[in-house]
Amino acid sequence: MTPIQIPFDEVKARVLVVDDSRDVHDLLRARLKHDDIELMSAESIAEGLDKALAESPELMLIDMSLPNEGDGLTLMRLLQTDSRTRNIPVIVLSARADMSCKVAAFDLGAVDYVTKPFELIELRVRLRVTLRMNEMMRLLAQRAQLDGLTGLWNRTYFDTRWREEFARSHRQGHSLALSFIDIDYFKSVNDNYGHPVGDMVLQSVARVLQRDPRASDIACRYGGEEFVLIMPDTNAVDAAIVSERLRQTIAELRWARVPDLRITVSIGVAGAKGFTVATAESWVETADNNLYAAKKAGRNRIIVSDLSSSGLRNSA
């Protein structure tokens, strides 16, 4: 579902400071307490890495000199090895001003380098600029994953999110389901009423997919008149119930501009309760095959496969 955008200035940005000096933590906390920043503290590489993984901060300030385990560059290398922390922007704090140290930090992805002792006013400005730029980049990346016509997530987002949900289901033994939804005879809508009406139909179906499923469900436009719904923690039976409700709701759609227009959808569902031996690709293939089987069987219907029961297929 399309995420609700929260204005950036209404939420405190989480900034993780990794420095072995307690005085630095106390100074920053005192001087930045009126800023829209939530400061988190770590005093070692291990603690910094653990908090980065657990808290997903919007920004990290990393001291170049850290005790026992290496230095700030060591922590930056560790951050780069994990997809969960690789894109966290880092500002390096260092008493070293030599070029080789700066080059090494920037090579590891640092977005800024501040030498100690630092001016608080300058550091505050650098923090604000970095956080603002990071938020703009996040919004641009998110926009690139949204379908421009319907506002749903697009195929690129689906491919990534489906792999993530499949991996989570496989790892934790949770149920998972997938529904492919295709508007029946959509070409005739464009042919008989024109493409503006076809776009209106696509947007109406998208609104149903945004409004009707559970909050945890993820609706995407797969392409053309085809949509897909990822349903975490949902078995095949419950996915069929959700999909049938969607099918009925879409069949009841009416438009004042074209009062005689009626549409239906065909839906292919694949779900499993707990562990399944299916791959992410074969799961998609099963749901897609069920969609085409529903169309071949007369459209305006659902066909479901329970992958936890040896691929059992049922009509609904």
Tens of pLDDT, residue by residue over 152-176, are 999 999 999 999 999 888 888 889 9
Domain boundary among the residues 142, 167, 182 is at 142
Residue 133 in any domain: the answer is yes
Tokens encoding 2: 């399309």
Q: Measured between alpha carbons, how far is 241 from 236 in angstroms, rounded to an integer? A: 9
State which of 79-93, 115-129, 211-225, 281-295 shows the largest mean pLDDT.
281-295
pLDDT (tens digit per residue) in 21-63: 898 999 898 888 888 888 999 998 999 999 999 888 999 999 9
Same-domain status, 173 and 289:
yes
CATH number of the domain to which 171 belongs: 3.30.70.270
Tokens encoding 227: 């949509």
Q: Residue 219 belongs to what domain range? A: 155-315
Residue 7: its pLDDT value, please? Answer: 41
Residue 148 in any domain: the answer is no
- Span 99-113, mean pLDDT? 90
Q: What are phi and psi of 124, to 5 degrees?
A: -60, -45
Residue among 199, 267, 204 at smallest CA distance from 231:
267
Tokens encoding 196: 């503006």
Same-domain status, 106 and 188:
no
Q: Measured between alpha carbons, how far is 118 from 124 in angstroms, rounded to an integer? A: 10
Residue 147 in any domain: the answer is no
Same-domain status, 191 and 133:
no
Residue 2: its pLDDT value, please? Answer: 43
Same-domain status, 306 and 164:
yes
With bands split at pLDDT 50, 70 and 90, how would you rate the model's confidence at 303? very high
Residue 113 in any domain: the answer is yes
Residue 277: its pLDDT value, please? Answer: 65
Same-domain status, 122 and 201:
no
Residue 314: its pLDDT value, please? Answer: 64
Tokens encoding 39: 């400061």
Same-domain status, 100 and 204:
no
Supply the mean pLDDT for the chain.
88
Q: Which residue has the higher pLDDT, 175 or 216?
A: 175
Residue 2 in any domain: the answer is no
pLDDT at 71 over 90: no
Q: Report the share of the chain in percent with pLDDT over 90.
A: 56
Instruction: Measure CA of the first residue to CA of the last residue in the chain; give whole Å.
Output: 25
Domain boundary among the residues 82, 108, 142 is at 142
pLDDT at 9 over 80: no
Same-domain status, 178 and 61:
no
Domain boundary among the residues 115, 142, 169 is at 142
Taken as a whole, the chain contains a residue count of 316
Residue 15: its pLDDT value, please? Answer: 93
pLDDT at 190 over 90: yes
The DSSP annotation for the chain comes to: -PPPP--GGGSPEEEEEE-S-HHHHHHHHHHTTTSSEEEEEE-SHHHHHHHHHHH--SEEEEESB-SSS-BHHHHHHHHHTSTTTTT--EEEEES---HHHHHHHHHTT-SEEEESSPPHHHHHHHHHHHHHHHHHHHHHHHHTTB-TTT-SB-HHHHHHHHHHHHHHHHHHT--EEEEEEEETTHHHHHHHH-HHHHHHHHHHHHHHHHHSS-TT-EEEEEETTEEEEEEET--HHHHHHHHHHHHHHHHT---SSSTT----EEEEEEEESS-----HHHHHHHHHHHHHHHHHTTSS-EEEEEGGGTTEEEE-
Residue 83 in any domain: the answer is yes
Same-domain status, 128 and 160:
no
pLDDT at 85 over 80: yes
Same-domain status, 175 and 296:
yes
Residue 150 in any domain: the answer is no
Residue 1 in any domain: the answer is no
Same-domain status, 122 and 209:
no
Same-domain status, 131 and 159:
no
Q: Report the share of the chain in percent with pLDDT over 70.
A: 91
Tokens encoding 266: 């065909």
pLDDT at 1 over 50: no
Q: Measured between alpha carbons, how far is 94 from 116 in angstroms, rounded to an integer? A: 6
Q: Measured between alpha carbons, how far is 28 from 121 in angstroms, rounded to an integer? A: 11
Count of structural domains, the chain: 2
Q: Measured between alpha carbons, how far is 140 from 212 in angstroms, rounded to an integer? A: 27
Same-domain status, 125 and 222:
no
CATH number of the domain to which 50 belongs: 3.40.50.2300
